A and B are shown apart, each in its own frame.
Chain A
Amino acid sequence: GQQVMQIPQYQHVQEGEDFTTYCNSSTTLSNIQWYKQRPGGHPVFLIQLVKSGEVKKQKRLTFQFGEAKKNSSLHITATQTTDVGTYFCAGPRGGRTNKLIFGTGTLLAVQP
């Protein structure tokens, strides 16, 4: 069945270092979304990418959607302790909107 995998599962960085998580789908996606979940919290929507090759930035966060629309990445420049949490990508499940399949998530730990 449809799968969305993320690597790495866990990343520990020193504050100020960069961080990247990769999201790979077994199927082509019409769009991809990214969510952040702080420890003990709930997932919060960050951004949605729709176009092939699209790149969007939010301050120190850069999101990219692959040309084949099967992969995506999130890059954080100069991590801060406030970046700690699990980052999930998500895409339409079975090609249908209003149903999402979530990636396995990447847990980011930032050491001050």
Chain B
Amino acid sequence: DAGITQSPRHKVTETGTPVTLRCHQTENHRYMYWYRQDPGHGLRLIHYSYGVKDTDKGEVSDGYSVSRSKTEDFLLTLESATSSQTSVYFCATNPPSGDTQYFGPGTRLTVL
């Protein structure tokens, strides 16, 4: 699936600690996205990027920041993790033609 990897795959952390999730793609896709998935809410867009150093907020961006210094890497940072950020986080990319998205395997984050 578009050569997307996410790390770590699982993480348990404590409230108040910073956390960084990494998404790496090998397809040279311009667009990249971070979603969170929670029961009853489907997939909600946190942040997205339309190129190196070009990012924008999604619908649930509070408490999250992102960075994209290289085409292949998109980092999601939780500045100070809270229990409400316990979720499964998916990275996705979008090839140049069309708007079909390809998803990474996900990161399960638990904030205690």
Contacts and interface: CB of A to CB of B under 8 A. Distances in A.
A82 interface: no
A20 B44 CA distance: 24
Contacts of B44: 102
B42 A102 contact: yes
A59 interface: no
Given A103-B42, A104-B41, A105-B42, A45 B102 contact: yes
Interface of B: 1, 31, 35, 40-45, 48, 50, 59, 90, 94, 98-106
Contacts of B100: 33, 45, 48
Interface of A: 1, 6, 9, 31, 33, 41-45, 48, 88, 90, 92-93, 97-105
B101 A42 contact: no
Nearest to B94: A98
A65 to B, nearest CB: 15
A84 B45 CA distance: 25
28 contacts: A9-B40, A33-B100, A42-B90, A42-B103, A42-B104, A42-B105, A42-B106, A43-B101, A43-B103, A44-B1, A44-B103, A45-B100, A48-B98, A88-B42, A88-B43, A90-B43, A92-B99, A93-B45, A98-B99, A99-B48, A100-B101, A101-B45, A102-B35, A102-B42, A103-B42, A104-B40, A104-B41, A104-B42
